Structure 1
Amino acid sequence: MKKFYDKLIFLLALLALAAGCAVYFMQSAPAPVTSASMGDHPYEAVPVPDSSASDAHWPMAEAPADAPDELFDVFTPPKIWLDTETLEFVFQAPYVDRRGDKPIPFGVEFVDFAQVPFRLQLQGYVEEDPSDATKSLLLFGDAEKGERVRARVGDEKTEYGFKVVDFEVKKVVAADNSITREAKATILDLQTNQEVVLVPGEILMTDEYTVTLQATDVPDLKFEFSQAPESFEIAGSQYVLEEINLEEPSVSVKKQGDGENEAVTKKLTLSKKTNTNTVKPVAPSPAPAIDSGSDLFGF
């Protein structure tokens, strides 16, 4: 019985295969080719009309009479930017070649400002009697001699050129009830016969200073000045340092004119790419007492 069903299934498979082959060969037969005759509709040439060329004039955009540089064109708008030196907007019109109108570089930069500290600084103190600050032992640093000097109120150090006039320590209570101590010593400078107040941990500056100017195109060419006015020269151009402002700090420099260019005066501030206000020598760490290990001048 099993063999009978196998033969039946095999016979059905053969019939299906034969039907599939018949359908394939019937569809792949070449389609009939038909042709159409153009005898009834002959080709006719269509004449092309002659076109006449016309010239059109498109005028360039023109600037207003009251602002000849402010030229604005819709398709080529102007360039507008902020001049960082003058803080004014610059309007550059299209169609204008500005390469020959670039301003001449000023040629000099303000790169350093150094103040000279007073030759004596109060480095610290030892408070022997809290009720009487004048009994404290004071420690001074002498930058010129490179030495430490110990003195009390009333002592005169002629070899170092000063006398201790007074010393006081105040207790200051802050809003949060924290207490700090503020000390200051008053000395008589025997070189100038003037009293000077020194505070530990703070550097007292003198009126002496040095400003450094540098050529823009020649960084190795530098000029140091301690007063104004002063003249100097860079690449054939003459300059005058007219004024020094210690508060900002800043300098006023004039570039002298020549046969082609007028004189220009600029206010220069410290260049961002260089170190700002420096102090000579280096500032000390606060020193509450002489045995704290603090040393202002590195000796």
Structure 2
Amino acid sequence: MPADDYAPSEDWLEAELRDTLDEDFEIELEDAILSMKIREIYNKAHPPSLPSADYFRTLLRLQAELIKLQDWVVHHKEKVVVIFEGRDSAGKGGVIKRIAQRLNPRVVRTVALPAPSDREKTQWYFQRYVPHLPAGGEIVLFDRSWYNRAGVERVMGFASEPEVEQFFDDVPEFERMLVRSGIRVVKYWFSITDEEQQMRFLMRIHDPLKQWKLSPMDLQSRVRWEQYTKAKEEMFARTNIDEAPWYIVPGNDKKRARLNCMDHLLTLFPYTDVPHEEVALPNRVYKGDYERAVLPPDLYVPSKY
């Protein structure tokens, strides 16, 4: 077959690749839409990060491996919980977004629970998290978790010291119970410096696309930095168990933090390639007597662009 016969297919594949890269760039632009003054200050405070080409190349490679991990989880009916904790603006949401970006949302889902309702406040503390735990062949990414009690609830006074003490007594056994049931529990803490958090909060204040991320609770976390630090240290000391240890991700450099976390996550599972049925596109069935109906123009979205 002449080489020219491949051209339409190659053009289509190239267009698909461009769409994929456009999606990556669109996500990255979230970090770039800043006031020029804040950007200037931020750049002075940070050493150069990874070149974009290196970052995207590594990101795509790791995302390809995550697809293999996903297939292994489905094939072997594994159950996986990954907990992402850290101070406000530490980068948890960014890494969760990159992990889940190319995965099947029916297999990998993100759980980010709101503040408990009045009814939930009367329940067993872990009760509202239990319905979100994975079944066989599922991965659940917790964007904050039951560790709220050891952090924000404790520091902000939403939980009493007896309740916090009860949590510390219960959580190791709760997690051991999950592991005994066959759930793999992975816990990440994203660590940033005081100065870095202040800079990120300033960027959110000056970026209209990110102002929604700032809540009164976030602003209070600045005031209570040292209290959060003490709470975090006790949390590590009392909940870092062999069955579900903590892993700390240095987060001042967002790109490196994402790649390091994704790479580390992959090392925790003995995943291998799994058999796949060969996929063949069936031929379309044509019926000579079928006539496509003409739909009213007002059903269509206006073509403004």
TM range, smaller chain: under 0.3
Q: TM-score, normalised by structure 2?
A: 0.19
Q: Looking at secondary structure, tell me which structure has more strand per residue.
A: 1
Q: Relative contact order, CA 8 A, sep 6+: which one is greater?
A: 2
Q: TM-score, normalised by structure 1?
A: 0.19
Q: Looking at secondary structure, tell me which structure has more helix per residue.
A: 2
